[in-house]
Chain A
Amino acid sequence: MGKSTDRRWFLKSVAAVGAAVPAAGLAADSPHHGHDGPAARAGAAGGKPQPQVYCWLTEPEQAFIEAAVARLIPADELGPGAKEAGVSYFIDQQLAGTYGTMARNYRQGPWPEGTPQQGYQSKLMPQEVYRAAIPEINAYCSARYGKAFDALPPVQQDEVLGDLETGKAPLESVRSGFFFGLLLNNTMEGFFADPVYGGNRDKIGWKMVGFPGVAAAYGEFIDKHNVPYLAEPVSIADVQQRLVGVDEHGHPLHLRLAQKD
């Protein structure tokens, strides 16, 4: 998807939550930005393009995840969805790293399934869960619809996801609800985490809900009741690359947006 398309999505998204945004030059009004103009900010994470390559997922896994996250958070009249936000790239990076390999988690066996109250008890690490479950889901889709998940129309994709969620589509490697929960959780993480992790491209998730990202100092605003604080979201990269000014403690000086009636 090209940048101009992203921009249209972005404008619709912001308008939907009640904000009006100048079409260009978001950074230009602020005295703190120095030499960095709107062109520098047009990049995905604010100046520095985000990686758009997969480092760990196989091709069928890429296709499945792109298709699945596009149904979990669809693009619609409110704005772009998880696919446009690069959530599949976020999941790729997470699975390849400490999260996917449970680097900070207890991994010793034995691994009886236990009760739901006892939580995650799979022998598999998250990266292994994805690797084992996706071919099984595609096999389920092929048996039922004659095609892999990513080739199905959205209505049937939603049916399959619903069947995974409720356990109607049983998997062998893990409980299907367990896989679905993991996928949904990782999708939400990728949609709302700082763009530094490869998702939330153009801060799509933050703009959708009206979240300003890296926080400013709000001491003068916290007790202004029922007055929306609307700001162009700021990412970690924006601050590190000095695309926004900061106060003495490093809090960004948010560019405030006018409220739409």
Chain B
Amino acid sequence: MTTKLKPVDVVVIGVGVTGTILAQELAAAGLRVVGIERGQMRDTYPDFQMPNAHDELRYQHRHELMQDLSRETLTFRNNRGETALPMRYLGSFKPGEGVGGAGVHWGTQNWRFSPWDFETRGRTIARYGKNHLAEDCTSQDWGVTYNELEPHFDRFERVYATCGKAGNLNGKIIAGGNPYEGPRSHEFPLPPMKTPYAAALFADAAKSLGYRPFPVPVSTPSQTYTNPYGVTLNACVYCGYCEGFACEMASKASPQTTVLPVLMANKNFELRTLANVVKINLDETKRRAVSVTYVDSRGREFEQPAELVLLTSYVFNNVRLMLHSGIGKPYDPLANTGVVGRNYAYQTPSSVTLFYEDKYFNSFMGAGGLGMAVDDFNGDNFDHGGLGFIGGGFIKSVSSGARPIEIRPVPSGTPRWGAAWKKATAHYFNRNFGIALQGACQSYRGNYLDLDPTYRDAYGLPLLRMTFDRHDNEHKMSQYITAKAAEIGKAANPSKMNVNPRAGHYTIVPYQSTHNTGGAVMGNDPATSAVNRYLQSWDVPNLFVIGASAFPQNGGYNPTNTVGALTYWALDAIRNRYLKNPGALA
């Protein structure tokens, strides 16, 4: 039995980074907004307080801030010939659960995707010809350009207290910033953070090879900062418990520290937690969403009617709810038709680890994105002619804080246990640093999301099924750029060095990045995109699907800033065009 509730103007499904911003802006515009969140309310006080905030086992290894897989997970296989099996433990990626979503435990690197990323297909063909793309590569242009998104990147960086140094201000290249970035309209809202030892060594080594290092853009404020919503964030103290953890001192930018304080005070907004949306209901034309159905913590089912539905959960649930609700044509990889589930992509991270005998790094200190990077081997910043791949990734040294259950590298060849392991671990824990590469990932016909035929969630609904592997393009790219990182590493004179390009089948076991993308991608062609360039469903115009689910393929950067920019871009279209004339936006 379903209880039908009083209609509201807007229902927001998932109260994380995107959901809080949209709810705040639309509630402030006078609309009545209900936010529905499957997890609990949680906030700096009392949930994230010291000393328990610094509990590595609880947060990083028992995943307290992250998705409870006992209720819902996904299934995974490398290719269509295998049987997908459930992800029983979190590993490769760590979606959030609860108010704030993954925005509570993110590592705060706040990169902009480059202009090339938004026009991957068009620019590749223009520069290298059509044969440079693999036959089954489905990477495409986004339907929106960097220049169109620029004001929205700028806005998100201001809301999310971002530190950095501009490398391109209105077309003028600025020393000390990233010379390859798209033009910025303004300098970063906050200056860069302090430079740890590892990043200084990395930057010197990179410069010695002619590269141009710059501070990683990061949303852990270098100074006390008040954002455009009037919310104040404390200056970061470099405690080293950032990604995987919640911030104990309201410093790290998150929904809790940037938007929620004003949103929760707005009488037009109502938050409903422990409420799991299981379906978006359509009218008989299947062209209009009339309500959402959710189940609360007592098992009661409710129907919440709304004029506008904003699907703002993580990538997987955005796609899954569309499939469960019959919105958009499911992707068929054999026929290469349909759009929902199409162009799932991920990333291709790799690393180089440097070991020293005489240098001490205090590896336990840091902040999620604290460090320096070079962008010389990202996107199309270098000539790919004859290389046999497209894309690349940034190369960085970041001191995010080594907690010893997780981060205690030893030189290659060291046993995994016993006296030799112990000796190497005791010696190198504070005498190593890593160079990490955020390799991009293209989209392919064989990589997609659909509904699993066997496994179900706690509500009896089919789990999402992921079919994914990295292709030759990704492996060649990883070999090439990781070798470049190893050259930088060698220039920093370590006594030993591990070089680990990404190779072999994708595995769901070790952590790689929570940068899953696609499945409800944006574009200008309804035959190859689930949402239009404003992230509005082609089939159901009063539904917007917002998040990294809209990325047609993944770039060589952390995705959050681009998700934030798309959120403000979609908001602009909703507030200034859709609400005045509800219907399909041309």
Which residues of A does B touch, CB under 8 Å? Answer: 13, 16-17, 71-74, 76, 78, 81, 98-99, 102-108, 110, 112, 114-121, 158, 161, 165, 184, 187-189, 192-194, 196-197, 205-206, 208-219, 221-223, 225-229, 234-236, 238-240, 246, 249-252
Contact = CB atoms under 8 A, between A and B. Distances in A.
Interface string B220-243: 000000000000001111111100
A104 B68 contact: yes
Interface stretch (B47-55, B155-163, B325-333, B483-491): B47-55
A214 B69 contact: no
B197 interface: yes
B419 A74 contact: yes
Contacts of A114: 83, 85
A15 to B, nearest CB: 11
A163 to B, nearest CB: 14
Given A117-B505, A184-B416, A250 B50 contact: yes
29 contacts: A99-B62, A102-B70, A104-B62, A105-B89, A108-B456, A112-B85, A114-B83, A117-B76, A118-B76, A118-B508, A158-B418, A187-B417, A206-B404, A208-B425, A209-B404, A209-B425, A209-B429, A209-B430, A210-B430, A211-B404, A212-B364, A214-B54, A215-B401, A216-B239, A219-B235, A222-B362, A225-B197, A227-B360, A251-B239
Given A218-B365, A246-B50, A249-B234, 6 more contacts: A106-B69, A117-B78, A118-B76, A192-B404, A209-B404, A222-B366
| Interface-central residue, A188, A189, A221, by most chain B CB under 10 Å | A188
How many B residues touch the partner, as a band? Answer: 35 or more
Contacts of B83: 112, 114
A236 B59 CA distance: 14
Contacts of A106: 69-70, 73, 86-88, 455
Contacts of B508: 117-119
A106 B419 CA distance: 36
A189 B238 contact: no
A118 B418 contact: no
Given A193-B405, A205-B404, A218 B56 contact: no
B70 A217 contact: no
A117 B422 contact: no
B56 A192 contact: yes
A102 B57 CA distance: 15
B88 A250 contact: no
Contacts of A192: 56, 403-405, 408
A232 B555 CA distance: 43
A209 B401 CA distance: 14
B158 to A, nearest CB: 23
A71 B416 CA distance: 12
A211 B426 CA distance: 10
B73 A218 contact: no
B78 A217 contact: no
Nearest to A110: B454
A228 B360 contact: yes
Nearest to B406: A192
Contacts of B416: 165, 184
A236 B52 contact: yes
B300 interface: no
A115 B76 CA distance: 10
Interface string B411-422: 000001111011
A161 B57 CA distance: 25
A37 B455 CA distance: 57
B222 to A, nearest CB: 10
B233 to A, nearest CB: 13
B509 interface: yes
Interface in B447-500: 454-456
Given A193-B405, A215-B54, A250-B50, A102 B237 contact: no
Contacts of A214: 50-51, 54
A121 B85 contact: yes
A226 B238 CA distance: 17
B426 A16 contact: yes
Contacts of B240: 215, 218
Interface of B: 49-52, 54-57, 61-63, 68-70, 73, 76-78, 82-83, 85-89, 91, 194-197, 200, 234-241, 248-249, 359-360, 362, 364-366, 370, 399, 401-405, 408, 416-419, 421-423, 425-427, 429-430, 454-456, 505-509
A91 to B, nearest CB: 12
The 7 closest A-B pairs by CB, nearest first: A250-B50, A217-B237, A239-B51, A209-B429, A117-B507, A215-B239, A193-B57
A135 to B, nearest CB: 22
B416 to A, nearest CB: 6
B155 to A, nearest CB: 28
Contacts of A102: 70, 88
A53 to B, nearest CB: 20
Contacts of A249: 50, 234, 237, 248-249
B365 A222 contact: yes
A101 to B, nearest CB: 10
| Interface-central residue, A98, A115, A165, A189, by most chain B CB under 10 Å | A115
A188 B78 CA distance: 30
A68 to B, nearest CB: 10
Nearest to A248: B249
A114 B425 CA distance: 33
Given A189-B61, A216-B239, A104 B456 contact: no
B458 to A, nearest CB: 9
Contacts of A209: 404, 408, 425-426, 429-430
B405 A120 contact: no
Contact of A251 (B50, B200, B455): B50
A228 B362 contact: yes
A189 B405 contact: yes
Contacts of A216: 239
Given A103-B70, A104-B63, A158-B418, A119 B89 contact: yes
Given A98-B62, A252-B51, A118 B73 contact: no
A225 B70 contact: no
B69 A226 contact: no
Contacts of A238: 51
Contacts of A208: 422, 425-426
B406 to A, nearest CB: 9
Contact of B509 (A119, A222, A226): A119
Contact of A81 (B61, B62, B422): B422
B463 to A, nearest CB: 9
B405 A222 contact: no
B54 to A, nearest CB: 4
Nearest to B463: A106
Contacts of B507: 116-117, 119
A253 B504 CA distance: 46
Contact of A105 (B88, B366, B430, B456): B88
Nearest to B201: A225
Given A104-B63, A219-B237, A193 B51 contact: no
Contact of B55 (A16, A236, A246): A236
A76 B419 CA distance: 7
Nearest to B52: A236
Contacts of A73: 417, 421-422
Contacts of A206: 404
